[in-house]
Structure 1
Amino acid sequence: MRLVTFKYAEKLGVHLGALREDGAVLDLAAADPALQGGNMPAFIAGGTAALEHARSAMAKAPVAQGAALCAPIPRPPKNVFCVGKNYHEHAKEFAGSGFDGGAKDVVPPFPVVFSKPHTSIIAPGEKILSALDPTGGLDYEGELAVVIGRRGRGIGKAEAMQHVFGYTIVNDVTARHLQKRHSQWVLGKGLDTFCPMGPAILTADAVPDPKALRLTAHVNGEKRQDALVADLIFDIPALIEAISAGITLEPGDVIATGTPVGVGIGFTPPRFLKAGDVVRIEVTGIGVLENPVA
């Protein structure tokens, strides 16, 4: 099941929906009043009972005419957790780019974790604002993101996948010169509009093996990234274990797992984004996240 958050042009608030294979959005709350409210983290916290309501509602839910997709979780309980240098070939690419700030290890010995504020999150189709990066070093990073379903702290690898609700797509948009200038990455990666997310959350029961998921990213129709999630340096259980060691993870928290080789700084010269470009990221089963650069 692919769950979405959407809005109507003529109605206030956001709504909970499901995305059909043909791209139509189903209004789940119209079929089941228990699903009203549109608060995705609250729905996720409802666990198995909430999912059963959603599955039952899909059979009778009407198509939401004129629906506009929002980010599936427009405001997670915390900042979006992000992971840097988590594919082997991208770690090498980043180390050789001159933007790594003099890091000693090409492949990090532990996960490199940073965050993006909720104000950076935008919906599929919304514009990435290039003017917010005055340095002209705008870059894309297609990533699989994990959505947490069960609260926990000190989660071990063995039980980590039991805390996963599902998966979505994140574009970890980055101002490369700001990232390098400030050493810490928040100011290079956390600017408004720098976290496109969506189009949907693919529930974990529909993903027997997340390592088999394939991520591709295109810029203006040209393929730039293509990798299997199996290529992660630190896999999903390792990331959940590392983050939850001292931080409580809550339903609706989002962990972007890192980007593969093929980002703009990996080219000589770098191929930065500019106004008019379109970034399209796709992950098996989840769908397509596409955003223009303005």
Structure 2
Amino acid sequence: MRLASFKYGSTSSWGLVAETHALDVGTVLANRFADLRAMIAGRGYDDVAAAAPSARHIPLAEIAWRPPVPNPDKIICVGLNYEDHRRETGRPEAKHPAIFVRFSNSQIGHLTPITRPHVSENLDYEGELAVVIGEAGRYIPADRAMRHVAGYACYNDATVRDWQFHTHQFTPGKNFPGTGAFGPVLVTPDELGDLDELRLTTKVNGVIKQDARLGEMIFPIAELISYCSSFTQLEPGDVILTGTPGGVGAKRQPPSYLMPGDVVEIEISKVGVLTNPIVAEAEA
């Protein structure tokens, strides 16, 4: 399934996404599931399939994309999880994942502008695979972790670099409003096959800046889920961002930061393409 949250007219809903249209399954199932997160928690996939034939078709050109899960309980971010990115930052090898958090109110959807705040000119891209949790769990063994996955999406963990490095804590640079682009769709695991062979690329104005196989992660998805579930209870709809490959703008010579008018595309094979223009805060 390819699932999304969206608006059209005055209606906020969610549903299935086809090549040219979205199916408003959320309205059909409104008495059962308030939103996509509730459907995931209730494991209502059979209900979605049953409701699809009677759902209204909306042309994709008429919808405003929201983050697939607009209201996750937690967004857990993993840093330095590709070897080429670790090397370009000069950070030492680590025994455990580097973890920080992003707030849900910093998120935006596909085609929504990413906002460069007026307090900085150091806005950077970070293409990532987002993992959405489908089943709650604590102390999840790595060999069972993939059973807890609802699906996958593209994410641009856009970062305000100077604010990220004000101290050793990354939080300020990762939580400016309008910087966490998520979507367009959440793709269920049965659609994707071997994740390791999928390719993640980031383009700025059509030029490739990042390019890696998902199998190049230092800490694989199952290990990340197991590790995160040890220090917190994972809940349906939670998002784990699995890290960005090398090639970020901050580590280029000279540094290459995003400017108003730029367009960033995050593509993961079989998952989709997440596209967001850049605007200055005064224009947002």
User: Could you tell me the TM-score, scaled by structure 1's length?
Assistant: 0.90
Whether contact under 8 Å (2:76, 2:102) holds in the other structure is yes
Q: Pick from 111, 122, 138 the counterpart of residue 108 of structure 2.
A: 122
Q: Pick from 52, 58, 61 the counterpart of residue 64 of structure 1.
A: 58
Correspondence list, 1:1-294, <5 A: 1-11=1-11, 14-20=12-18, 22-30=19-27, 32=29, 37=34, 39-47=35-43, 50-65=44-59, 66-78=62-74, 80-95=75-90, 103=91, 105=92, 107-132=93-118, 134-294=119-279
Identical counterparts, % of pairs: 40
Whether contact under 8 Å (1:19, 1:26) holds in the other structure is yes
Provide closer, same or farther for how the CA distance between residues 214 and 35 of structure 1 changes in structure 2, counting only shifts above 3 A.
Answer: farther
3-state secondary structure, aligned to 1:181: coil
Aligned partners of 1:29, 1:130: CA distance in 2, in Å? 33
Q: Which amino acid in the other structure matches residue 249 of structure 1? A: L
Provide closer, same or farther for how the CA distance between residues 23 and 283 of structure 1 changes in structure 2, counting only shifts above 3 A.
Answer: farther
Whether contact under 8 Å (2:33, 2:39) holds in the other structure is no
Q: Which amino acid in the other structure matches residue 81 of structure 1? A: I
Provide closer, same or farther for how the CA distance between residues 210 and 174 of structure 1 changes in structure 2, counting only shifts above 3 A.
Answer: same
Distance apart, 1:33 and its partner CA: 5.4
Aligned partners of 1:76, 1:116: CA distance in 2, in Å? 11
Distance apart, 1:64 and its partner CA: 1.7
Distance apart, 1:116 and its partner CA: 0.5
Residue aligning to 1:100: none
Q: Which amino acid in the other structure matches residue 105 of structure 2? A: T
Deviations 1:228-258 (A, max 9, x none): 1000000001101111112000000000000
User: Could you tell me the TM-score, scaled by structure 2's length?
Assistant: 0.93
Distance apart, 1:61 and its partner CA: 2.9
Whether contact under 8 Å (1:16, 1:35) holds in the other structure is no
Aligned partners of 1:178, 1:291: CA distance in 2, in Å? 22
Whether contact under 8 Å (1:85, 1:108) holds in the other structure is no
Aligned partners of 2:126, 2:106: CA distance in 1, in Å? 14
Q: Which amino acid in the other structure matches residue 119 of structure 1? A: N
Distance apart, 1:123 and its partner CA: 1.0
Distance apart, 1:77 and its partner CA: 1.3
Aligned partners of 1:151, 1:33: CA distance in 2, in Å? 23
Residue aligning to 1:99: none
Q: Which amino acid in the other structure matches residue 17 of structure 1? A: G
Distance apart, 1:63 and its partner CA: 1.2
Q: Which amino acid in the other structure matches residue 89 of structure 1? A: D
Range 26-35 or range 228-237, more displaced: 26-35
Greater per-residue strand proportion = 2
3-state secondary structure, aligned to 1:129: strand
Aligned partners of 2:20, 2:97: CA distance in 1, in Å? 36
Aligned partners of 1:159, 1:277: CA distance in 2, in Å? 41
Aligned partners of 1:32, 1:45: CA distance in 2, in Å? 14
Distance apart, 1:292 and its partner CA: 0.8
Distance apart, 1:7 and its partner CA: 1.0
Aligned partners of 2:131, 2:29: CA distance in 1, in Å? 27
Aligned partners of 2:109, 2:15: CA distance in 1, in Å? 15
Unaligned runs of 5+ in 2: 280-284
